[in-house]
Amino acid sequence: MSVSLGADRQILLEGSCGSEDAESLLQLLLSMPGAVVDWQRCSMAHAAVLQVLLAAGPPLRGTPRGEELARWVGPALARLDQ
Amino acid sequence: MNELLQQFLIESRELAEHATDDLLALEHAPRDAELLDSVLRAMHTLKGSAGIVEFFEMEQAVHAAEDALGAARRNLGVPERAVIAQGLACLDQVMEWLDAIARTGELPRAAAAARPVQHDWSAALLERHPDALPLATTAIRYIPDADCFFQGEDPIAHITALPQLLAFEMQPAQPWPPLAALDPFRCNLVLLALTSASLESIADHMRGVSGKHDIAALSSQGQRLDQSLTAAARHVLASQLALVDGSPPPPFGHLASAAITASNVLRFCGGDAEADRLAGIAAMDRADMHAALRAALSGLLADPPEEKSAAGRAPQPAVRSSRTEGTPRTLRVPAERVDALVRLTGELTVARNALSHLARLAALQGNSLAPLLKARDAAFGQLTSQLQRAVLTLRVMPLRAVFQRFPRLLREISEELGKAIQLKTIGEDTEADKAVAEALFEPLLHVVRNAADHGVEDPALRARQGKPPTATIEIRAARQGDQVLVEVADDGRGMDVDRIRQTARDRGLATEDVLGSMTEEEIIELAFAPGFSTAGAVTHLSGRGMGMDVVRTVVERLGGRVSIQSQAGKGTTVRFMLPFSVMMTTVMSVQAGGQMFGVPLDSVVEAIRLPRSALSAVGAARAVVIRDQTIPVVDLSQMLGDHDRVPDSTETTLVITSFAGQRCGLEVDKVGEHLDIILKPLDGLLAGTPGISGTTLLGDGRVLLVLDVGEMLQ
């Protein structure tokens, strides 16, 4: 499973997150407002998943493994937080 | 200038002024959401109307400004100063365009070259990514379809895979709903990117994706800058180019300093992007620098300055004030206010009439003030009639507004009929009261349809008769004194008098005897009778047998007349005589049964005095023969209810009226003066009284009832 609940009530994004993961990510974020999302082991995330991150704006932990995510998406998400 | 463009000018000016005011206010209160909404609404309408007149450059420019402001509202709620400035510059440009249209009557041709704020989102994007600035050549804005996820698309992956990506941003397309209401499978993204790849390769990359995307070539930055280059700056740049082009080629150090000079000039003019690019060139290797600098400088100087100077970019008060000179301004006033003014003027006229009455009374009584009163009254009279004329012209409009609807309509009609017909309009500048002009359209349309349908022959028949294959229908208008003449003439077969007579007989519109004694003109007049139609087949266009009588009713309701002239084989002309203004009516005052009445002068043919013995009884009615024409006579006072009147003299006065081609003599006691009056329609208890069209107040305070001759005769 690419979206899961880790230790310390952290939400983990791992491997390749497809569009179907968007719903479970949203549910986790809804049930735990303010939870941190750890995406260090995420290599790829579909736009639907990223859109949930964009809308919910949870704190993100680490730099994702995927190059595109690290180089472009991370800064783009951070830009909106400013 | 065509009416549509005129309307566009008036409306767009208002909108642009409105949006400018709001934007200026927004600069001081950037958090005022209502102001921002108001600006966006005005811009949206402005954009729409530009689209309607097919002024696409303006549509695009306003669209870009609207977009930038709209994005500001969505993202932050507060537009950046730069975005407001861009909006103002855009509106300034719009104003200049509108002035150009007002001057030339055409859409400005140089508009395409100007495009001052076409890619505002890209300019804002560049501003946010200064690091990408020197290299960026293309900007992309991509708004995927909301259901693109279901189509298996991953728009973010697609954009981050763009060749030579320099910067990437994502924003919500619509404000995010509360998280609980978020539909994670509905795409609500706007993706923005800067790349150093060419526009073509980006277009290739974006081909086939869902939703909408804009691709902007950032070389337009240079062009935009060029518009604001002062003559001095251009001169400096040109001398750098001359140096670069000089032979022998200048030494490396000269080239680098030329690049730095150019860079400084550009920075001074506010062209930071270009300045950075040139500073980059100054840092290049010797081998590359010569060509790069040459290309950059000639690019900057490429376009002649005259074209560009029209597109100044900073909103400057000086520009604005120079704009107002020499451009006709129009004021739009609600029609009710004009009508109120007309009504008040009418009352002023009545008050003035009272003064005249007083002056006459004073003269009769030998009062010493009488001469003074008379002189004052005359001056007052002159002023009121001037005021009246001025006020009435407020309601006046050229008939062009009516005429210009006909070319398209006639094209449809002629296509449907399979006849080639050309339309000519003459005297479109002729003016008439708004009410007259507006009411004229329908009768004109009936007549034009009739002309096309019944008047114009089939092409084959025209050919046999040696007529040109394309028939001509001409609509002409001219002012004739207090009246407006409008004619519709065709070069068709003319009206067939025998056929009209036959039809009238068949339909029982007149007896054989009556028909036999009628002149040709009278027979043609029958075409105005209700229920008359000679069309062989009832077509979609006309021939429902209601055309001409409706035409006559409408025209006469306006206080006008309509007549037909026809020549067999040569064509038919329908002639409308309409009052210039419906507000003013000239009436002849008459006295009957001790009361004053007004008879509209346009229905009076003549007033005659003749011995009572000239009236002969015809059954229960009476008639008189004047110039071999038998005219029925009615006693006005009797008709209005005074039955006991005994004729007290051997002579009588008749006012001969004409209505719908029918003549009738009104027997009255006395004929009085002609009065210019402003007719007030009947209201209250009197509303709908038959035979009376309205009232006006006389100078001595009495009410004058104005007769509706047509209604009375029925």
**Is B44's pLDDT higher than 90?**
no
Q: Which amino acid is at B382?
A: Q
User: Which contacts (CB < 8 Å, 24+ apart) does range B19-22 have?
Assistant: B19/B43, B19/B46, B19/B87, B19/B91, B20/B88, B20/B91, B20/B92, B20/B95, B20/B315
The CATH number of whichever domain residue B91 belongs to comes to 1.20.120.160
Q: Are residues B452 and B549 in the same domain?
A: yes
Instruction: For an interface test with A, give the residue of B131, B151, B156 to mutate (most A CBs within 10 A).
Output: B156
d(C-alpha B662, C-alpha B710), whole Å: 9
* Rounded Cα distance, B378 and B387, in Å: 14
Cα–chain center distance at B86: 31
Question: In sequence order, what DSSP letters do the residues of B347-401 get, joined into one string?
Answer: HHHHHHHHHHHHHHHHHHTT-TTHHHHHHHHHHHHHHHHHHHHHHHHHTEEETHH
Q: Is residue B110 part of a domain?
A: no
Q: What value does the mean pLDDT take over residues B30-37? A: 83
What integer best gives the mean pLDDT of chain A? 89
- Predicted pLDDT of residue B517: 82
Residues B355 and B456 in one domain: no
Q: What pLDDT shows up at residue B543?
A: 41
Please check whether residue B168 touches A, CB under 8 A. yes
Tell whether B489 is covered by a domain: yes
What is the reported pLDDT for B576?
93
User: What's the pLDDT tens digit per position in B71-106?
Assistant: 877 766 677 777 888 888 888 888 888 888 888 877
- What part of B 137-156 touches A (C-beta under 8 Å)? 144, 149, 153-156
| Cβ-based contacts of A72 with chain B (< 8 Å) | 160, 165, 168
Summarize pLDDT for B229-262 with one digit per residue, the tens. Answer: 666 777 788 888 887 887 777 777 778 888 888 8
pLDDT one-digit tens code per residue, B308-351: 333 333 333 333 333 334 444 567 777 778 878 887 887 788 78
Picking from B251, B285, B301, the residue at the C-terminal end of a domain is B301
Q: Are residues B413 and B559 in the same domain?
A: yes
Quick count: other Cβ atoms within 10 Å of Cβ B710?
Answer: 19
**Looking at residue B415, which CATH number applies to its domain?**
3.30.565.10
Q: Chain B partners of A50 at a C-beta cutoff of 8 Å?
A: 156, 170
Check CB contact of B326 with chain A, cutoff 8 Å: no
Over residues B597-617, mean pLDDT: 87
- Chain B hits for A76, CB-CB cut-off 8 Å, are 168-170
Same structural domain, B134 and B188: yes
Share of chain B above pLDDT 70, in %: 86
User: B460 CB contacts (<8 Å, ≥6 apart)?
Assistant: none
Are residues B513 and B535 part of one domain?
A: yes
Are B54 and B188 within one domain? no
Among B367-376, B534-543, B579-588, the range with the most confident prediction by mean pLDDT is B367-376
Q: What is the pLDDT of residues B255-309, one digit of tens each?
A: 888 888 888 777 777 677 778 788 888 777 777 788 888 888 887 776 544 333 3
Yes or no, beta carbons of B160 and A25 under 8 Å apart? no
**Predicted local confidence at residue A42, as pLDDT:** 93
Give me the pLDDT at residue B520, please: 82
CB atoms A46 and B188 under 8 Å: no
* Residue B421 in this model has a pLDDT that exceeds 60: yes
Average pLDDT, chain B: 80
Residue B309 covered by a domain? no
B262 and B190 in one domain? no
Distance between CA atoms of residues A65 and A67, nearest Å: 6
Cβ contacts of B548 within 8 Å, gap of 6 or more? B446, B450, B527, B528, B532
Q: Quick one: B463 and B551 in the same domain?
A: yes
DSSP state of B177: P
Amino acid identity, position B446 = H
User: In this complex, do A68 and B170 lie within 8 Å of one another by their Cβ atoms?
Assistant: no
Question: Measured between CA atoms, how close is A7 to chain B, in angstroms?
Answer: 24
Among the three residues B58, B73, B104, which one is the final residue of a domain in this structure? B104
Mean pLDDT score, B546-571: 81
Greater confidence, A27 or B519?
A: A27
Q: Which residues partner with B473 through β-bridges?
A: B423, B490
Q: What is the pLDDT of residue B327?
A: 47
Q: How confident is the model at residue B541 (pLDDT cuts 50, 70, 90)?
A: very low
- From chain B, the residues in CB contact with A46 under 8 A are 149, 154, 156-157
B160 closest CB neighbour out of A22, A68, A80: A68
Report residue B194's pLDDT band, with 50, 70 and 90 as the boundaries.
Answer: very high
Contact B60, B114 (CB under 8 A): no
Greater confidence, B464 or B255? B464
What is residue B99's predicted lDDT score, i.e. its pLDDT? 85
Residue B116 has pLDDT above 80, yes or no: no
Containing structural domain, residue B43? 3-104
Q: Are residues B381 and B447 in the same domain?
A: no
Give the chain A residue nearest B144 (alpha carbons).
A47
| pLDDT higher at B445 or B408 | B445
Tally of domains within chain B? 6
pLDDT in tens, A22-58: 999 999 999 988 889 999 999 999 999 999 999 998 9
Task: State the Cα–Cα distance between residues B135 and B692, nearest whole angstrom.
Answer: 83
Considering the domain architecture, whether residues B555 and B679 belong to the same structural domain is answered as no
Of B446, B454, B444, B447, nearest in space to B403 by CA? B444
- pLDDT of B519 reads 83
Does A53 reach chain B within 8 Å, measured CB to CB?
A: no
Task: Answer yes or no: is B115 within a domain.
Answer: no
Say whether residue A67 is in contact with chain B using an 8 A CB cutoff.
no
Q: Is A29 on the interface with B (CB under 8 A)?
A: yes
> Does B574 have pLDDT greater than 90?
yes
pLDDT of B643-699, one tens digit each? 655 666 788 889 998 876 778 899 898 898 888 777 776 766 776 677 888 888 776
Nearest CB to B156 within list A29, A50, A56: A50
Q: Is residue B315 part of a domain?
A: no
- B chain contacts of residue A22, beta-carbon cutoff 8 Å: 184-185
pTM, two decimals, is 0.43
ipTM computed for the complex: 0.95
- pLDDT at residue number B227: 47
Find, in chain B, the residue whose alpha carbon is nearest to that of A70: B160
pLDDT band per the 50, 70, 90 thresholds, residue B547: low
Q: Is the dihedral of CA B172, B166, B206, A41 positive or negative?
A: negative
Q: Which segments of B108-162 does DSSP mark as H helices, in order?
A: 111-114, 120-128, 155-160
Which residues have C-beta within 8 Å of that of residue B619, sequence separation ≥ 6?
Answer: none
- State the Cα–Cα distance between residues B439 and B608, nearest whole angstrom: 35
pLDDT band at B640 (very low <50, low <70, confident <90, very high): confident
Residues 6+ apart with CB under 8 A from B353: B697, B698, B699
Whether residue B613 is contained in a domain is answered as: yes
**Residue B330 forms part of a structural domain:** no
In this structure, the answer to whether residues B403 and B390 fall within a common structural domain is no
Instruction: Tell me how far apart the alpha carbons of residues A2 and A39 are, in angstroms, rounded to a whole number.
Output: 10
**Are B138 and B59 found together in one domain?**
no
Q: Please, which pLDDT band fits residue A14 given cuts at 50, 70 and 90?
A: very high
Cα distances from B452 to residues B400, B512, B541, in angstroms, run 21, 31, 9
Helices (H) and strands (E) in chain B, counts: 27, 22
Cβ pair A29:B179 closer than 8 A: yes
DSSP code of residue A70:
I
- What sign does the CA torsion over B308, B312, B318, B324 have? positive
Residue B111 is predicted with a pLDDT of 55
> Which of B24-33, B113-122, B388-397, B417-426 is most confident?
B417-426
What are the angstrom distances between the C-alpha of B267 and each of B226, B228, B236?
Answer: 12, 12, 13
| Final residue belonging to a domain, choices B168, B190, B217 | B217
DSSP conformation class of B148 = T
In a domain, B243, yes or no: yes
Q: How distant is the Cα of B30 from the closest Cα of chain A, in angstroms? A: 19
3-state class of B28 per DSSP? helix
CB neighbours of residue B112 within 10 Å:
10
Q: Give the CA angle between residues B266, B272, B274 to the nearest 5°.
A: 65
Mutation test of the interface with chain B: which of A42, A72, A81, choosing the one with the most B Cβ atoms within 10 A?
A: A72
Q: What pLDDT, on the 0 to 100 scale, is given for residue B203? A: 83
CB B185 to CB A48 under 8 A? yes
| Paired tokens of B686 | 């009197």
Identify the CATH number of the domain in which residue B212 sits: 3.30.70
Two structure tokens written together for A38: 């750890």
Give the highest mean pLDDT range of B9-23, B527-541, B672-686. Answer: B9-23
Does residue B442 carry a pLDDT above 50? Answer: yes
Q: CATH number for the domain including B691?
A: 2.40.50.180
On the question of pLDDT at B570 being above 70, the answer is yes
Residue at token pair 């008036």: B10
